[in-house]
Amino acid sequence: MSVSIRVTLPDGSVREVPSGTTAREIAEGIGAGLARAALAARVNGTVWDLDRPIDADATLAILTERDPDALELLRHSSAHILATAVRELFPGAAIGFGPPIENGFYYDFQVDRPFTPEDLERIEAKMGEVAARDYPFVREVVDRPAANRRFADDPLKLERISELRDDETITVYTDGPFQDLCRGPHIPRTGRLKHFKLLSAAGAYWRGDERRQMLQRIYGTACFKKDELDAYLHRLEEARKRDHRRLGRELDLFMFHPSAPGAAFWTERGTTLYNLLVEFVRERQAGAFKEIKTPLMYNKMLWELSGHWGKYRENMFMVLNKETNEADASLKPMNCPSHYLLYAAKKHSYRELPLRFVTFDVLHRNEVTGALSGLTRVRQFAQDDCHVFLSEGQIADEVSFLMDFILGYYRTFGLEASLKFATRPETRIGSDEMWDRAEAALRAALEATGMPYELNPGDGAFYGPKIDFDVTDSIGRSWQLGTIQLDYAAPERFDLVYVGDDNAEHRPVVIHRAVSGSFERFIAILIEHFAGAFPVWLAPEQVRVIPISDAQGDAGRRLVERLQAAGIRAHLDDRNETLNYRVREGEVGKVPYMAVVGQREADSDGLALRVRGAGKKQDVMSAEAFIARVTDEARTRALAP
């Protein structure tokens, strides 16, 4: 005896079908084409396997390749197919987790030896076979004892099973010879996987815990269409080409040397770029901020007061005391404590608040070797660091002020930032009333911008809530750049006070603010963002003057002098090379403007302008007009060319 259920389709129509009918059967009832295209179903808003019986009234939509959720499904199933292949080639491999991720999927294995690149090729070929065998993905609901029996040989899975709550449904998915503990859902058959590639193998701690054993992770990606896969691989290649480490060398901006791992050497051009950024921040901060400099090295008295000596010591470069032979001093890893000392050194009136200390001092953090990476993760760097001392009543206005400052800064570079609002964590200091006020003030300032923001409940610092500014780079990596953090703890710890209009001492609040994060990392992001083709105001070399032949050498030299006198970073390329060769070098070197001087231009006190990236198209103009153009673009910090 079968009970009927009512299934509502996206167009609003209702089908009455026997309980236990699958989405596939309903799709077949709608049309053979839909049934062929079907990958899964969305039942009451949740993605289900196509062949899972539906036993109650439901809304149902058939998922095809076109559905945004389908790709995740394919990639999750790809991970299973990867595991299927690995198990065939490495029968003893224990399996960890295999989820879909942003651009593909991975699976973790416990194997006797790590995978080699050759293994990856074999595994990829085997995945093709598994897909071609077109196994169905079969879902089964099992009870705990059955699950334990099935994965008796697999300690990782047994550990996972033991953590499942009793009220959780345990499901097992099987494709051909491979079964996996998995919540699903999956594509109906392995044959639906056609376009995939394994990308890399790497170690990864089991459960992401560095105290647990290391598993071998294989990363891969999969798409529904070949051109999508090709496009993704092409994107990876493009990202590799604009990698700041490669461009940093090619454009002669910086280098690293084994003598100073994690600390950059800046060339003349790189230093020009670095200083231009610092100058830009200085210019924007002029007036409202007070730039200060504090020592780079401190004895442990300060770090004990700040708490770093206990919690952050591992990351600090220690300095040995010659007499006691003990490490009792350190290079500063952060500016905050020294700013507090300077603040506390004299009495402050409420009239001075908000008082904004900014600095570009050099910081050192002893990052573990494996964490270092180009300019994005270094041991020596400088932040555009600011600490604001203010009264609690000034928070809302101050946060608005700082947000405008930060967003305007990013806008200059054409960078899009997304905002995150992190609220009180479980372990925190201060009263609930204090947190209520702080969060309300931050939130009000956030909403005043009208920008969308993501809520990160519980992610605030123990000393106060914060707003983080994330920027996404060309490779799709997201970087936390700026931050606005309220700090109620530091003023207590350092006993910071100001004198109020009641002539009594009051506790200020501190706001930590950074805009670029660190200049080093920000430059890395800019290099990749612009692919090395900096806007005129930032380009280390703005103009390259190229006399066509020796006869125009003097005219070229005069032009360079004139440009330099106008404050333009111009260089002469009068080398004994062909015009074509020198133009090519200018293009490859991403110089925004090439000013070519032939006899006609030499006679008329002009130049033939070639704009970076615009090809052969040239624009003959007077030196005067050109100077006006370049200085204007530099002054306004225009993004083009």
Partner RNA sequence: GCCACUGUAGCUCAGUGGUAGAGCACUCGAUUCGUAAUCGAGCGGUCGUCGGUUCAAGUCCGACCAGUGGCUCCA
| Shortest CB 426 distance to RNA, Å | 16
Q: Quote the least distance from Cβ 587 to RNA, whole Å.
A: 4
Residue (88 or 384) nearer to RNA, CB: 384
Does 385 qualify as catalytic in the annotation? Answer: yes
Least CB distance to RNA at residue 47 (A): 25
Cβ nearer to RNA, comparing 208 with 310: 208
User: Which candidate in 364, 365, 437, 544 is catalytic?
Assistant: 365
Q: Is 512 a catalytic residue?
A: yes
Output 70 or 546, the one with its CB closest to RNA.
546
For residue 469, which of 387, 398, 403 has the smallest C-alpha distance?
Answer: 403
Least distance CB 595 / RNA (angstroms): 9
Question: How many angstroms separate the Cα of 400 from the Cα of each of 467, 491, 560?
Answer: 11, 22, 45
Interatomic CA distance for residues 51 and 369, integer angstroms: 50
Catalytic residue, from 192, 336, 384, 485: name it.
336
Q: Is the peptide bond before 354 cis (omega within 30 degrees of 0)?
A: yes
- Cis status, amide bond into 641, omega within 30 of 0: yes
24 vs 466 by CB, closer to RNA? 466
| C-alpha–C-alpha distance, residues 419 and 454, integer Å | 6
Per DSSP, the three-state class of 165 is coil
Which residue type sits at 532? G
Residues 497, 506 contacting (CB under 8 angstroms): yes
Asked if 547 and 555 touch (Cβ cutoff 8 Å), the reply is yes
Catalytic entry in 332, 387, 590, 610? 387
For the CB of residue 217, give the shortest distance to RNA in the complex, in Å. Answer: 5
Given 332, 364, 512, 529, which residue is catalytic? 512
Residue 516 C-beta: closest distance to RNA, Å: 7
- 436 catalytic residue (yes or no): no
Among candidate residues 394, 415, 408, 636, the one with its CA nearest the CA of residue 537: 636
CB nearer to RNA: pick between 49 and 574: 574
Helix, strand and coil in the chain, % to nearest 5: 40, 30, 35
Cα 408 from chain centre = 20
Catalytic residue among 108, 119, 175, 385, which?
385
Nearer to RNA, 206 or 289 (CB): 206
Question: Minimal distance in Å, beta carbon 126 to RNA?
Answer: 19
Q: Has 195 been annotated as catalytic?
A: no
Tokens coding 494: 């350092």
Q: Which of 126, 197, 364, 466 is catalytic?
A: 466
262: region left, alpha or beta (phi > 0 left; psi from -120 to 50 alpha): left
The torsion defined by the Cα of 388, 390, 395 and 399, in degrees rounded to 10, comes to -20
* Nearer of residues 52 and 244 to RNA, judged by Cβ: 244
Q: Please indicate whether residue 473 is annotated as part of the active site.
A: no
**Enzyme catalytic residues:** 336, 365, 383, 385, 387, 466, 512
